[in-house]
Amino acid sequence: MNPLILTAVRTTRGWTDTNRNYVPDCDLMSPAANGECARMDNQNLGKPVFNRSFDPTFVGGWGARPYNWSLGLSVQQEVLPRVSVTAGFHRNWWDNWYVVDNRSTSLGDYTPFSIRAPLDPRLPGGGGYTIDGLYNLVPGRVGEVDELAQSYKNFGEQQENWQGFDFSAVARLNWGLTVQGGTSTGRRLADACAVRAKLPELGAGPTGAPNSSVTANVLVTTARGSLSVTNPYCHYSEPYRTDIRGLATYTIPRADVQVAVTWMSVPGEYLEANFVADNAWIAAGPQPLGRPLTGAAVATVNLIAPYTLFADRRNNMDFRVAKIFRFGGRRTQVGLDLYNLMNVDVATAYNQAFVPGGPWLTPTAIQPARYARFSMEVDF
């Protein structure tokens, strides 16, 4: 709503390198389709017009703006001398999202289509299943932008929440030994399907900016890809997953030597199978598009529903020992830290681009190997 940002300063456009010279052979200054370049996705580039306006009932008034509530309940009990346990329940929920309707287009301007997943034994059921709910904007509407930000309630119901349980125990024993540890279990639920059924363009619209607080705040955090015309997964129901963490510290009497160990076990990340479908693959699908794709010549589609495939758990243990020296009113601590004490090599990143028979889920990074760090701290 700031008039200083009145002019559109960026856009995108499709490009097909027909002669394989890796140069867009077209007039990039022209917003129309020409040469190897498709129409600009935002025909208002450089023009002093607002790409996006805001519904007054959304930006003003009590309780109109997006909000979230947080609830936490916990109870702590001493079960033995110097030993206590804590149990808690936590829940967060969000509401009053905004969505952006490009009033230059209607639902009928987005052609639905579906594709068939490739046959591959690594996919659920060996592949061959149908992925529907995909859309592509008709060629005549590309680049037309007249966005109105407004409440999601104008289009349908929507929900998002997170809830979880914590359990921890702390033991402060004799001789300077302290042990603590616990678990945290939680899951997230998000659903914007009723809204997407009327606004398939949810995601990053022609302006390149997020056009929904659902895609900016919720679905981006629950999955790497936000809603889009080729991401049909508008319902996320994460299973309950548990973190386990612990810490033990001990100071050896008289020797002034501190010893500590920490450990953790956390669930692996959610994995995708991003398949690049070209026009020929789409044309052979259960619900073909009936024409070439508008803009880009391919559509990238995740073949696996979110939160159904996960990487291995990540387990780690670190160790520290430090000697304290005291002299002349000063205190010096010399320490040695050993990270990844058990030298586990669990993968932390994967190739999630899917090609039938290709290197899908090949690890691209692993947990750093065991290493040591020396340190010295002087207090005066």
What is the average pLDDT across 2-17? Answer: 78
Look at residue 220 in the predicted model and tell me its pLDDT.
39
Query: What is d(CA 265, CA 246) in angstroms, rounded to the nearest whole number?
Result: 9
**Cβ of 352: how many Cβ atoms within 10 Å?**
19
What is the average pLDDT across 356-376? Answer: 94
Chain segment 168-177, per-residue pLDDT in tens: 999 998 778 9
Query: What is d(CA 99, CA 302) in angstroms, rounded to the nearest whole number?
Result: 23
Query: What is d(CA 188, CA 105) in angstroms, rounded to the nearest whole number?
Result: 32
Q: For the residues of 325-355, what is the DSSP string, one character each?
A: EEETTEEEEEEEEEESTT----EEEE--EE-
Closest to 111 measured CA to CA, from 26, 200, 177: 200
Chain segment 252-302, per-residue pLDDT in tens: 888 889 999 999 999 998 899 999 999 999 999 999 999 999 877 899 999
Residue 338 CA from chain centroid, whole number? 31
Largest Cα separation within the chain, whole Å, is 85
The answer to whether 360 touches 275, Cβ cutoff 8 Å, is no
Q: For the residues of 131-199, what is the DSSP string, one character each?
A: EEEEEEE-GGGTB---EEEEEGGGT---EEEEEEEEEEEEEE-GGG-EEEEEEEEEEEEEE-HHHHTT-
Chain segment 107-166, per-residue pLDDT in tens: 999 999 999 999 999 999 999 999 999 999 998 888 888 888 888 899 998 888 999 999
Q: How confident is the model at residue 211 (pLDDT cuts 50, 70, 90)?
A: low
Structure tokens at 133: 């709910």
pLDDT at 209 over 80: no
Q: How confident is the model at residue 235 (pLDDT cuts 50, 70, 90)?
A: confident
